[in-house]
Structure 1
Amino acid sequence: MRKVIIRDNRKIFPFNEPARDLRVMNKPLWLYQHDVLAPYCEEELEVNSFFEIPLDNKETLVYRDNLFFDQHFFEAFITEARRRNKPCRVAFSPEDKAITTYALLLQKGIHRQGGLYVADMWYFPEGIEEEAEPLVIETQAREIGFYHVPTYMAPPPGDLVYWVPLRSFLSIENWIHIYFANVPFGIFAEGARMEKEADKLSVKLRILLRSILERKHFLSCSELVKVGRNTQIDPTAIIQGPTYIGNNCTIGPGVVISNCLIGNNVNIMQGCQLLLSVVSDGCYLPFRAALFMSVLMENSMVAQNAVLQLSVVGRDSFVGAGVVFTDFNLLPKPVHVLHEGKLHSTGLPVLGCCVGHNCRIGSGLVFYPGRAVESDVVLVRSEERGVITHNIYYEESDHFKFRGGHKHRRLYPR
């Protein structure tokens, strides 16, 4: 099968890069797509629009390069599309909670057509045609979350829940979609699939036998915690699955990791705590850093006592000691974020912050929920700016104030 990739060159704020170059589950999005499609596609073509696709009789898959879809979603789509042997387009039911709650926010790639939502992915069994019938794929969303939390943080009766899909699909057009792709639709979805598999008696027995043989807790055995080559883990560390740790990593004393993806060459030092987070290749976390439902792209560092909640940090960025990314409005209103130059409500009661690429965030800063720092910015705490209440752009960077500030180069212009 031939795959035709329609380029989407829009840059995602605050990274100032197209979606295809941003990391999802510790891979650039283009590589993640490639790996999902590798078993199905032998030929590849990139175009700028649908009209550039050759008119021939080849079996063809067409999709936009800002789409995130996992192997479970694509397998369901391509299996049914081939069975029908007709031109098909990905579609979703308006009753699909994962799509309507998260995927429709701040984007245009998934839109209403009649009684369904359709997206920019098509299958043509015998070459491009003008019409393609909608093929509804259920994401099989499951309600998972935190129950009986105070009702000022979650709607009565106090359930702060997520609709976690077993089959994931997003159109990435805002930084919150990077968060969704990595956490609720990424590592959280891995946990949901494991939980579903564990309903089978054979799976329960296999995990139980492995935990007995290894003399480990059920959730810490090698069936659920996958560790790469040359990785050193202190015996006092607590790691619960499903967790994936790459090669050449160091996990220090007292570290707690639960349901995370850790890349290669990562150092996590004494007392760090990570839950439902993605830490990409080459990252470094000194002692007592904490990540909750957060994402670090490659070669970034979060210093001691920093706290990141429901947040995203771009590549080659530094977050200083004691920095706090808050995720909850003290006033009872949803978190707002910037999209296409305007503030929009996310409809979400909790959401953290986003830091772009090549940033330097000084110690002791506190960020309001939903705020973003553009790539290449340097921020230093001062009497005038200790709490970040608005989005920070490159022109507001503190490196302009310092002697030698020119040494901090701008790598990601708008």
Structure 2
Amino acid sequence: MHKTRKLRKFVIEDKRLISPFNEPASELSILNKPLKIHHADIIEDVCGQTSAELPLAQIDDLALRVDRDDEVLVYRDNLYFDREFFFEFFEQARASQLPSRAALPADDHAWIKYSIPLSRLEAVRDMNGKALYYPLDLWYFPEGYVESHKWRAVPVFSEYKEIGYYNVPDSMTNLRTGSEGEFGRDLDLTHLLTERSCLSIDSWAHIYFANIIMGVFSRGKRFEKKITEHNFEALKMLFRAILEQKQVLSCSKVVQVGEGTTIDPSAVIIGPTTIGHHCSVGPGAVIDNCIIGDNVNIAQGCQLMLSVIGNNCFLPFRAALFMSTLMEYTIVAQNTCIQMGVVGRNSFVGAGTTFTDFNLLPAPLRALNAFEKLEDTGQPVLGSCVGHNVRLGSGLIVMPARVIESDVILFASAERRVINRNITYEESDHHKVRASVAKLHKRRYPRFPFGESTRESMYLESWDEPKKEITRKKK
């Protein structure tokens, strides 16, 4: 009699800290969920409930943990994938009943533009050195662990579509002459929006890509495709809009609102948009294709477009976000403009602060890669990144692609009003004030040596200090 097997799921813990958050990728929010929760939800949706297993340090450790007849799924916890990507891989792998490893084809332009730069993914090449595909740390084993030479690569294509997001003259797009004399389009103001999304989170820029380009922006593209190809869906949306006496893109079919949320009648909300529970949207606010978490307060006149707002955030009047991400418990004060940026949790951005996203001179925008070295992002426009527990004063101007490390405080001053380089914790302005005041600001996200994944030592140190004092008294 055939015995039904239960899929066993193993996670390889990636303990490397992502700058400037100084936190593992699995703890960072993607589309308003910690990445590890995002994984769990998708896998449960596609595969059903799986058994809880102790984490692995590397894939080879699996040989000691499973039997030969176990059906096994393994992934590294810094790998972001959406449901569509995971479903495509899992269905192909399970149907083949062969040991399989997911891969990004090297001829897919979306993967090359967003997933490969700044990452530690390495290509498998042919005899002539041409890249064929990039293996991912996502495996399926139908009958226990086998050696790597028996793995079958499962290429998953993004099925991207090129979409513009700015309409500006060519003279302002930083187009540069190609090898054959024509204008190269690698720096044109377009994005490749995908049907399936996958990134190895090795840099803060990948957080931006996962939330915005492969997140809400691609969600909008998929929504438009569904409406275009399915007339019945378009009719249902039209009838719902007529019943509710709203614009088609503002009806409840495309704008999902949680319980206890209040929205002023003068606010304009365009779908697809998701708003969580117990939120408040004030008069004159404009929200276009956003994901907004629970307990968020969006005051009058705020402008939000293609952005992700985490739980318990507060945006006072006339705050503006364009293609940006706020993690939970963050405040963006009035008249602040953030463009294509990422702000970590429990941070404060002062009134009138501006995050720019475009170099006036055609210099490349560089960001720290997986190896903590500056690398060209390949993006013509890109905002900046602020870590966790950061306090920024009023009226600052942050240049494109700069990072401000977690726990930094920056005062608005004549010496440092324009942030034109990366700011580390050691350069924080709170070090300049008297010690009795500086100690009120606690460092919560320190940079640990490679491989150290816990902050317990930060708290255990306070227990060690009294012991030292007792030892001195005995002496």
Q: TM-score, length-normalised on structure 1? A: 0.97
* 2:145 is the alignment partner of 1:128: yes
Q: CA deviation at 1:400?
A: 1.3
* 2:60 is the alignment partner of 1:51: yes
Q: CA deviation at 1:113?
A: 4.5
Q: Which amino acid aligns with 1:173?
A: D
**CA 1:147–1:410: 2 relative to 1, 3 Å:** closer
Deviations 1:264-289 (A, max 9, x none): 00000010000000000000000000
The partner residue of 2:373 within 342, 357, 362 is 342
Q: Which amino acid aligns with 1:126?
A: E
Q: CA–CA distance in 2 between the matches of 1:148 and 1:190?
A: 21
**CA 1:235–1:110: 2 relative to 1, 3 Å:** farther
* 2:441 is the alignment partner of 1:408: yes
Q: CA–CA distance in 2 between the matches of 1:357 and 1:9?
A: 18
User: In the alignment, is the contact (CA less than 8 A) between 1:363 and 1:381 conserved in 2?
Assistant: yes
The partner residue of 1:172 within 182, 185, 201 is 201
Aligned pairs, number: 414
Q: Which amino acid aligns with 1:356?
A: G
The partner residue of 1:30 within 27, 30, 36 is 36
User: In the alignment, is the contact (CA less than 8 A) between 1:92 and 1:99 conserved in 2?
Assistant: yes
User: In the alignment, is the contact (CA less than 8 A) between 1:287 and 1:304 conserved in 2?
Assistant: yes
Q: CA–CA distance in 2 between the matches of 1:26 and 1:225?
A: 17
Q: CA–CA distance in 1 between the matches of 2:122 and 2:140?
A: 16
The partner residue of 1:229 within 238, 252, 259 is 259
SS of the counterpart of 2:137? strand
* Residue of structure 2 in register with 1:150 after alignment: 169
* 2:419 is the alignment partner of 1:388: yes
* 2:51 is the alignment partner of 1:64: no
Q: CA–CA distance in 2 between the matches of 1:92 and 1:182?
A: 19
User: In the alignment, is the contact (CA less than 8 A) between 1:109 and 1:120 conserved in 2?
Assistant: no
* Residue of structure 2 in register with 1:160 after alignment: 189
Larger Rg: 2
SS of the counterpart of 1:47? coil
Q: CA deviation at 1:309?
A: 0.4
Q: CA–CA distance in 2 between the matches of 1:413 and 1:140?
A: 40
Deviations 1:112-160 (A, max 9, x none): 3542222111111111111211111111111122364222225368951
Within 5 Å, give how 1:308-387 maps onto structure 2.
308-339=338-369, 340-387=371-418
User: In the alignment, is the contact (CA less than 8 A) between 2:174 and 2:362 conserved in 1?
Assistant: no
Q: CA deviation at 1:110?
A: 5.4
* Residue of structure 1 in register with 2:470 after alignment: none
Q: CA deviation at 1:108?
A: 1.1
Q: CA–CA distance in 2 between the matches of 1:207 and 1:108?
A: 43
Q: CA deviation at 1:355?
A: 0.3
Unaligned runs of 5+ in 1: none
Within 5 Å, give how 1:139-218 maps onto structure 2.
139-146=158-165, 148-151=167-170, 152-153=172-173, 155=175, 159-199=188-228, 200-218=230-248
Q: CA deviation at 1:229?
A: 0.2
Q: CA deviation at 1:105?
A: 0.9
Question: Percent of pairs identical after alignment?
Answer: 50
**CA 1:369–1:388: 2 relative to 1, 3 Å:** same
Within 5 Å, give how 1:285-296 maps onto structure 2.
285-296=315-326
* Residue of structure 1 in register with 2:429 after alignment: 398
Q: CA–CA distance in 2 between the matches of 1:390 and 1:275?
A: 27
Q: CA–CA distance in 1 between the matches of 2:75 and 2:367?
A: 27
User: In the alignment, is the contact (CA less than 8 A) between 1:148 and 1:159 conserved in 2?
Assistant: no
Runs (4+) of structure 1 exceeding 4 A deviation are 156-159
User: In the alignment, is the contact (CA less than 8 A) between 1:88 and 1:123 conserved in 2?
Assistant: yes
* Residue of structure 1 in register with 2:456 after alignment: none
Q: TM-score, length-normalised on structure 2? A: 0.85
Structure 1 stretch displaced more, 162-171 or 114-123: 114-123
Q: Which amino acid aligns with 1:20?
A: S
Deviations 1:42-90 (A, max 9, x none): 1132111112212412111111110001111111111111111111111
Unaligned runs of 5+ in 2: 1-6, 127-131, 176-182, 448-475
Q: CA–CA distance in 1 between the matches of 2:105 and 2:214?
A: 18
* 2:247 is the alignment partner of 1:239: no
* 2:11 is the alignment partner of 1:5: yes
Q: CA–CA distance in 2 between the matches of 1:272 and 1:109?
A: 39
* RMSD between superposed Cα atoms in Å: 1.4
Q: CA–CA distance in 2 between the matches of 1:138 and 1:209?
A: 35
Structure 1 stretch displaced more, 312-321 or 143-152: 143-152
* Residue of structure 2 in register with 1:14 after alignment: 20
Within 5 Å, give how 1:225-304 maps onto structure 2.
225-304=255-334
Q: CA–CA distance in 2 between the matches of 1:176 and 1:104?
A: 11
Q: CA–CA distance in 1 between the matches of 2:110 and 2:87?
A: 18
User: In the alignment, is the contact (CA less than 8 A) between 2:188 and 2:380 conserved in 1?
Assistant: no
More strand by share: 1
SS of the counterpart of 2:52? strand
User: In the alignment, is the contact (CA less than 8 A) between 2:241 and 2:247 conserved in 1?
Assistant: yes
Q: CA–CA distance in 2 between the matches of 1:112 and 1:380?
A: 48
Q: Which amino acid aligns with 2:90?
A: I
Deviations 1:205-224 (A, max 9, x none): 11111111111111100110
Q: CA deviation at 1:92?
A: 2.2
SS of the counterpart of 2:210? helix
**CA 1:211–1:110: 2 relative to 1, 3 Å:** farther
User: In the alignment, is the contact (CA less than 8 A) between 2:164 and 2:190 conserved in 1?
Assistant: yes
